[in-house]
Amino acid sequence: MVEIEKKVDSLADIAETTEAPKREAKHDSLGRAYATGRRKESVARVWIKPGTGKVVVNGKEQGVYFGRKTHLLVLNQPFLAVKRTKQFDVMATVKGGGLSGQAGAIRHAISRALENFEPELRPALKAAGMLTRDARIVERKKIGKHKARRTKQWAKR
């Protein structure tokens, strides 16, 4: 019994002294951080590096690729959450889905890339909900219905 108590005490000491592993920044040979983001049917691949705030999506400027201001706001939310506007250049490739899903996928990827570039930003991004993948997808169509829930028109008389 004494040996078991000693082992339990030593394990408790080890648990108290060991902290959570520190996250390290992940950069490639060009000093960029990479991440993948998803939303609905869209998948975005993003590379960020220190720069002037230039955002290129599929070879086009963000204002040209996304016509709506709401999509541009969604795109820049991670930078606003961590107060790093105009400090990073973003190069993104995105495919699948529509523009709204693509903007959400790029936002998710930028958030993850920022975390890879500066691990200290994780708490702010996590608190803002940027690192969580939005799992909502389109509901499937059911047999005997027009859409997922829309039923056929019915007349009482």
**SS3 readout for 27-84:** CCCCCCEEEEEEECCEEEEEEEEECCCCEEECCEEHHHHCCCHHHHHHHHHHHHHCCC
Residue-wise pLDDT for 126-149, tens only, equals 999 999 999 999 999 999 999 999
Classified as helix, coil or strand, 89 is strand
Domain boundaries, the chain: 29-127
pLDDT over 70, % of the chain: 87
Name the pTM for this structure: 0.82
User: Mean pLDDT score of the chain, rounded to an integer?
Assistant: 89
**What's the mean pLDDT in 74-83?**
94
Residue-wise pLDDT for 82-99, tens only, equals 999 999 999 999 999 999
Beta bridge partners of 37: 44
Q: Which CATH class is domain 29-127?
A: alpha beta
Q: How many residues comprise the chain?
A: 157
